[in-house]
Homo-oligomer: A and B are copies of this chain.
Amino acid sequence: MKKFVNDPQQFVPEMLKGIELANPGTLRYVPEYNLIMRADAPRDDKVSIVQGSGSGHEPAHVMVVGKGMLDAACPGDVFSAPPSDYVYETTKLMRSEKGVLHIINNYTGDRMSFDMGRELAEAEDIKIATLIVDDDVAVKDSTYTVGRRGVAGNFFVIKAVGAASERGAELDELVKLGERVNSVTRTMGMALTSCTPPAKGSPLFELGEDEMEMGVGIHGEPGRRREKLANANAIIDELLEAVVSDLPYGSGDEVALMINGLGGTPISELYIVYGHAHQRLADRGIEVTRSYVGEYCTSLDMAGASLTLVKLDDELNELFDAPAEVAVRIF
């Protein structure tokens, strides 16, 4: 296994410890419950924003805890939902007068775990609301999902509600805002290669040298179909057609365009993808006014990418412009 790993069982805890050490004073790792939280959370003048999911999607979500984003992230093991008692403990730690908002990417395991964690916390009179993100247009139901999956588009939901929560927005306002962002956000991804979970030590699935998986899920689960490997522009055209036609986005729309790498694809290639997508959108009269190129929601070391569009308006532009301070940085 060509990975930086010691004991595969300690993969997630060692990563979380590293995040804490790299962010002294601002982030705190709580080993008992496997969570990362802002050192200054919770605050009673602010709704606490919490997201959990399996690990292996970094920077989602443990590396997007910070001012203007999440107050805490509650990860499970690699590609496994967090245990419900950890959801419960995270919620208790984030208890605030204004309430706690759970953001969940739509996967059955995560939803079950958060439902149980929520029930336990509500029994202690903690005010909680839940936001489900389901931006993936690839399949209606999937291996791990009833309904659409939640993937990289969840960053826009977190960014918007994170910014609004800093200004004191109420829990019900944040739910409405998050649902609105989710309703104008669409994503589809594709895999060039499989990925290798540390505890398995070998590729999660097989993909031939001349094959690619269109519409892949972020746990390597099957997408729309397996196809012959194509060149970059043909791949992007297929992703773009699926995403644009779904909402649909149309001439005159202003959009955010995110090209998200799945972990093993270098950023040079992501900019090639970005450039073609931007130009094809312009051909359709759709103007890209915000661009996001990099890794946001990955599948370990998988080579591949996803494409997300968000239909913008003044309120969303203003929230996306608001400052955010997270662990991931270049400078």
Contacts and interface: CB of A to CB of B under 8 A. Distances in A.
A305 B4 contact: yes
A100 interface: no
Contact of A328 (B55, B267, B298, B300): B267
Interface string A1-19: 0111110000100111111
Interface string A85-104: 00000000000000000000
Interface string A314-331: 000000100010111111
B6 A231 contact: yes
Which residue, A55, A56, A193, A274, has most C-beta atoms of chain B within 10 A? A274
Given A18-B275, A18-B278, A324-B331, A3 B300 contact: no
A59 interface: yes
Interface in A248-264: 263-264
A22 B330 contact: no
Nearest to A262: B266
Interface string A260-287: 0001111111111111101100000000
B2 A193 contact: yes
A272 B303 contact: no
A135 interface: no
Interface in A225-263: 229, 231-233, 235, 263
Contact of A301 (B58, B209, B235, B303): B303
A192 interface: yes
A321 to B, nearest CB: 10
A296 B294 CA distance: 13
B272 A231 contact: no
A278 B29 CA distance: 15
A293 interface: yes
A274 B330 contact: no
A17 B233 CA distance: 14
A292 interface: yes
25 contacts: A3-B232, A3-B265, A4-B192, A4-B235, A4-B265, A4-B269, A5-B272, A11-B268, A14-B276, A15-B268, A17-B275, A18-B276, A18-B278, A21-B274, A22-B275, A58-B267, A59-B267, A63-B267, A63-B271, A264-B303, A266-B301, A292-B329, A292-B330, A320-B331, A329-B330
Closest 4 CB pairs of A and B: A18-B275, A18-B271, A4-B269, A4-B232
